[in-house]
Amino acid sequence: MKPSELLSLLNELHGDTAGLLHRHVAAARLVEHYDYNNTYQYIIAREDTHLAWLGAAIDDLGGAPGAVAPEPQVRLEGRGAERLEGILRDDVSLADAFIEKWAARVPSITNARHRKMCEILVGETREHRRMFAQALEGRPDVLGRRTGGQTTGGGVLATRWVE
């Protein structure tokens, strides 16, 4: 693979990864369930790391990451559990599409360092998909179990900082 082809591929992957990140930020604003919101926060942090890796790789090749699309609208159908289910179902589908597209393309990368980075990125997206699917099943232990029967005491605060 020529350096120009690699740069183009990494830029496209950067755009797709940024699209997922922005989707998850928009969804997290709407997910009030404490455990599932924490899941979104975890995934957002990992995707932010993925973008940093891709940005550095693009920079190393003499390029600059392309423009990122604006934050997408999250489909708001139903209320409460029905709305949450729709958001999670969409995120499972988006992860499936991302994995299908990139798992097939990553093996063509001849640079071992960049190929491994992309394999990790796709692998972690598979893990994110699994987390969304577990949340969709209604499992509160997506990120782990609490000891001693502790509870969260409710959902996420509507406002981050209260003065």
Topology, domain 3-141:
Ferritin (1.20.1260)
**pLDDT digit string (tens) for 97-137?**
999 999 999 999 999 999 999 999 999 999 999 999 999 99
Contact 34, 156 (CB under 8 A): yes
Alpha helix positions (H), 61-111: 80-105
Its pTM stands at: 0.84
> Is residue 159 exposed (0-12), middle (13-18) or buried (19+ Cβ within 10 Å)?
exposed
Q: How far is CA 110 from the centre of its chain?
A: 25
111: Cβ contacts below 8 Å, ≥ 6 apart: 1, 6
Distances (CA, A) of 87 to 90, 93, 110, 132: 5, 10, 37, 9
Please state the domain extents for the chain: 3-141
**pLDDT digit string (tens) for 18-62?**
999 999 999 998 888 888 888 999 999 999 999 999 999 999 999
